[in-house]
């Protein structure tokens, strides 16, 4: 999905580009792209370290969201097809 579409889908108000939901959705998209890249290029260790940093950042955002707005957290997890 394109970046603009993701922002539009998860924005809480018009012009919203930095809310927790939008950031988590954008990170998920980048993580999926890097995962596909690493399946082809197994020895690309620099991209792998970048992927791990992105996963950690998304995890922190989701932890924050779960502590502040649990209902929104559950809905976002379902929408993004994440495990929890």
What are the DSSP calls for 57-79, one per residue? HHHHHHHHHHHH-HHHHHHHHHH
Please provide the average confidence, as pLDDT, over all residues in the chain.
Answer: 94
Q: Which has the closest alpha carbon to 21: 34, 46, 68? A: 68
Instruction: Please give the CATH architecture assigned to the domain spanning 3-79.
Output: Orthogonal Bundle (1.10)
What is the pTM assigned to this prediction?
A: 0.92
Q: What is the mean pLDDT of residues 10-25?
A: 92
What pLDDT, on a 0 to 100 scale, did the predictor assign at position 75?
95
| Tens digit of each residue's pLDDT (9 = 90 or more) over 32-70 | 999 999 999 999 999 999 999 999 999 999 999 999 999
- Domain positions in the chain: 3-79
């Amino acid at each position: 999905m394109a970046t603009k579409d993701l922002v539009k889908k998860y924005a809480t108000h018009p012009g919203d580009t930095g809310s927790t939901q939008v950031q988590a959705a954008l990170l998920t998209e980048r993580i999926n792209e890097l995962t596909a890249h690493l399946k082809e290029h197994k020895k690309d260790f620099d991209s792998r370290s970048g992927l791990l940093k992105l996963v950690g950042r998304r995890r922190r955002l989701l932890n924050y969201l779960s502590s502040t707005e649990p209902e929104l957290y559950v809905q976002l997890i379902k929408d993004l097809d994440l495990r929890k």
